Amino acid sequence: MIGIFDSGVGGMTVARAVEQLCPGFPLIYLGDLARTPYGSKSPAMITEYSHRNTEFLLRQGAKLIIIACNSAASAASGFLRSHYHQSIIDVIFPAVAKAAAVSLNGRIGVIGTRATINSGVYEQRLQESRPECRVYSQACPLLVPLVEEGWMERRETKMIVKKYLHPLRDKQIDALILGCTHYPLLKKIIAPRIGCSVHIIDSSVEVALHLKQILDADPDLRTALYAPDIPSRFFVSDTPSPVHGLADKIFGRTVLLEKTDV
């Protein structure tokens, strides 16, 4: 099975994209609601939580791990890759590759949580991928709580998005990475505020496309993970009420969330 973890339910945008682009590959999802959000916490704490989440997924039989949380990917992917022999895919690399490929003028924007932006991981990987590019980053710490409240269409959310995007507006960026798995749910209000000519890169879709390429290129891994009769399972480490609605909204159907201790 394919293991996916996130600090909460935002990473379900990744699970949903994987389900659509790689049908027949069952998932084990873990949303660490008991400790959510990660984006405001320290790299050491995020690494500790990511370690525990990975242990849980491997115990459940995961053969490949997707870090479906940008904050966790930015803080903990190095540690997890050095610690486990299993393949570890994170949401950052595929989005970086896409941005480096589609940007014509090499001016790329990144928005994310404070943990993700402070880590500098997007700047670093974009500059490795395309050394001449200019990267403009903006932490948007209030967007996760706004999405989790279901305030995707509210006037206040639009104003806050506009305020956060304002410093990027003058930079002539032509690509913007949504560096948080919650942000695809705000794509409709982000797009007109950053400008129609800016290519918006949804890290959830890119990581699913990247997984598809890996599976296409590795028949043994594909065979090991393909099991269309096994249903995906979704675990959460705590179960507050409003989150159920968000998971269902992301999937467009009722999702059974199973409570587990991590």
Q: Which residues carry out catalysis? A: 69, 180
Among 159, 191, 224, 227, the residue binding a second copy under the rule CB under 8 A is: 159
d(CA 193, CA 199): 12
Among 221, 238, 249, 260, the residue binding a second copy under the rule CB under 8 A is: 238
Residue 118 is a binding residue for a second copy (CB under 8 A): yes
d(CA 28, CA 15): 9
The pair phi, psi for residue 149, each rounded to 5°, is -80, -5
Among 59, 163, 187, 188, the residue binding a second copy under the rule CB under 8 A is: 163
Among 24, 120, 231, 240, the residue binding a second copy under the rule CB under 8 A is: 240
**Which residue's CB is nearer to a second copy, number 163 or number 187?**
163
**Which residue's CB is nearer to a second copy, number 136 or number 151?**
151
Please give the order of strands across the beta sheet that includes 233-236. 87-90, 64-67, 2-6, 27-31, 233-236, 257-259
β pairing state of 2-6 and 27-31: parallel
Q: Which residues on neighbouring strands pair with residue 13, listed in sequence order?
A: none
The binding track of 194-233 with respect to a second copy, each residue x by CB under 8 A or -, is: ----------------------------------------
Q: State the nearest-atom distance from the C-beta of 9 to a second copy, in Å.
A: 12
Estimate to the nearest angstrom the gap between the alpha carbon of 258 and the chain centroid. Answer: 21
Among 20, 24, 42, 245, the residue binding a second copy under the rule CB under 8 A is: 42
**Which residue's CB is nearer to a second copy, number 238 or number 248?**
238
Q: How far is CA 134 from CA 91, 104, 109, 138, 185, in A?
A: 21, 12, 9, 14, 26
Residue 21 is a binding residue for a second copy (CB under 8 A): no
Q: State the nearest-atom distance from the C-beta of 158 to a second copy, in Å.
A: 10
Residue 260 is a binding residue for a second copy (CB under 8 A): no
**Which residue's CB is nearer to a second copy, number 90 or number 148?**
148
Residue 41 is a binding residue for a second copy (CB under 8 A): yes
Residue 104 DSSP class: S
- DSSP E strands in 11-105: the ranges are 27-31, 64-67, 87-90
Please give the order of strands across the beta sheet that includes 134-139. 134-139, 107-112, 175-179, 199-202
Is 66 in a helix, a strand, or coil?
Answer: strand
Residue 156 is a binding residue for a second copy (CB under 8 A): yes
Among 219, 241, 253, 254, the residue binding a second copy under the rule CB under 8 A is: 241
Q: 27 is written with which tokens?
A: 């998932």
Helix (H) or strand (E) holding 69: none
The contact set with a second copy (CB under 8 A) reads: 33-36, 40-42, 44-45, 114-115, 118, 141-142, 145-146, 148-149, 151, 155-156, 159-160, 163, 238-242
